[in-house]
Copies of this chain bind each other. A is one copy, B any other.
């Protein structure tokens, strides 16, 4: 029930997810001394007596973020925890706890919830965190999983999105576009199955990309490697919505430009193979496919020697002066502006 029924309505798709967040965040005010960062980064930062507490929240909804047709429940539980840990890692923090809410149809079974919780528990053990409860309730239809992750970082040591400097190098962990290719493969097999339920799909040629989608990992290990290399990133974000949109978050928040190079983008062979099969451009997929949960960060130019031959870190470009845009230098040596074409759950539903 709206307060004023004569108000005119703006469809959510008009603003998109980021526009909506910006819009709603104007309604919030921050005055407490212990609120170090409210909104606008991967996690909020609260001052707890010298240490800073990080807190992040992600929702996963059935039919939007996952499809029970091809999502094993244990993997779903695992992923729900991991995507939140990824937000804490993207602040340079140590994840410590999670709290979970699940809204589920009353027609669901205890065993289904058990498998989800088992997957969550496996993720928690893997990352050394603990699940400290939550809320389970019914929904009138599809399942919604809400996870809040808690972490900590020494005072002042959180790595923000807003602190990249011109001339910093831009680095990503792992490879990009795999999770989106996994989704494309699973959606294709779903259609095949719907047409003929007797065909058993052979997913083994796609094991890597399918795993990227269904059972991603958070790159807490990359933080440890950076520490061992003596590198402190100047800014960081996790890649949940796609490289383009995450890079734009950093350039916008830091007030600098960026230039990345098509021939530097790390792409797995299986990702190339799926792109070929689906007649897609692998660069577009690496730029805009979401859910890779790799880390995107910037480091001082002077740290280049420390990182240049590392198998898990790829330098893909560098930040530029404040008045410059974020651009991609293509293999044909054209420089084109980067736009956010990341995953937009509001538009997705309307198409």
A interface, CB within 8 angstroms of B: 1-3, 7-15, 17, 20-21, 23-25, 27-32, 34-35, 37-40, 44, 46, 48-51, 53, 55-59, 61-65, 68-74, 96-97, 99-115, 117-118, 121, 125, 128-142, 144, 146, 148, 150, 152, 345-350
Contacts and interface: CB of A to CB of B under 8 A. Distances in A.
11 contacts: A1-B71, A21-B136, A23-B110, A29-B125, A30-B132, A31-B130, A55-B99, A59-B146, A61-B140, A64-B103, A135-B146
A55 B132 contact: yes
Contacts of A10: 109-111
A102 to B, nearest CB: 8
Given A64-B140, A132-B38, A2 B115 contact: yes
Given A2-B115, A15-B110, 19 more contacts: A3-B73, A11-B107, A12-B106, A21-B136, A23-B110, A24-B117, A27-B114, A28-B131, A30-B130, A32-B96, A32-B130, A44-B97, A55-B148, A58-B135, A61-B144, A63-B139, A101-B146, A138-B348, A139-B144
A186 to B, nearest CB: 11
A70 B1 CA distance: 6
A49 B32 CA distance: 19
A291 to B, nearest CB: 13
B137 A345 contact: yes
Q: For the complex of A and B, list the 4 residue pairs with the smallest distance between their C-beta atoms, beginning with the closest.
A: A44-B132, A106-B349, A146-B146, A39-B133
B117 A27 contact: yes
A28 B107 contact: no
A125 B31 CA distance: 10
Given A9-B111, A100-B57, A144 B144 contact: yes
Nearest to A27: B117
A150 B54 CA distance: 11
Contacts of A14: 110
Contacts of A105: 349
A237 B58 CA distance: 28
A230 to B, nearest CB: 27
Interface of A is mostly: mixed
B46 A49 contact: no
A347 B32 CA distance: 42
A104 B142 CA distance: 12
Contacts of A59: 101-103, 135, 137, 144, 146
A101 B25 CA distance: 13
A107 B14 CA distance: 11
Contact of A140 (B11, B34, B62): B62
B132 A35 contact: yes
A349 B138 contact: yes
A345 B24 CA distance: 30
Given A72-B3, A130-B31, A152 B48 contact: yes
B34 A96 contact: yes
A81 B179 CA distance: 35
A253 to B, nearest CB: 14
Given A12-B109, A109-B11, A110-B9, A61 B135 contact: no
Nearest to A96: B34
A35 B131 CA distance: 10
